Amino acid sequence: MEDLFKFLMIKTGRDFDAAELAEMNPTQLAYVGDAIYEAFVRTYLVIKFKEPMRKLHKRSVDHVRAGSQSEALQIVIPILSEDELYIVKRGRNTKSANIPANADMIEYRRATAFESLLGYLYLSGRYERLFEIMWRALEANEPCEKESEVFWDR
């Protein structure tokens, strides 16, 4: 991920300073955060489980749906710094015209806040922190997973 971001920064000649990034539209941060989290979850599932695509897809959806992301946000809030909480609050307060049928407004806003945080961390180059938060989110949803057909034992 880090190499991808560096490559794009070089090719576009664009760089973000901290102030500009903190004021970026939260929906843009969420747009990036959604993609980063989806890739993280899918990679984790492919590494951990030897299953047909149908089952992998269902597991992925279980992790990235608004309800799971809303729960994940609640788990990571106590460990967030002031600048991270600022991004979360801005993301949560963003109005959205489209709320998925399988989520209520509160869940969707929290999920958007979570994705905004991930996008912010990614674009600011704070990869270690990004991975820590995504891992905690993944662990929060872990009890939903059955350990059948796991590649290795714990």
- Asked if residues 141 and 63 have their Cβ atoms less than 8 Å apart, the reply is yes
- Asked if residues 60 and 38 have their Cβ atoms less than 8 Å apart, the reply is yes
Residue from 110, 111, 117 nearest 85 by CA: 117
15, 17, 34, 83: which is the annotated catalytic residue?
34
> Would you call 62 a catalytic residue per the annotation?
no
Q: Provide the angle, in degrees to the nearest 10, between the axes of the packed helices 105-123 and 26-48.
A: 90
Which residues have a catalytic role annotated?
34
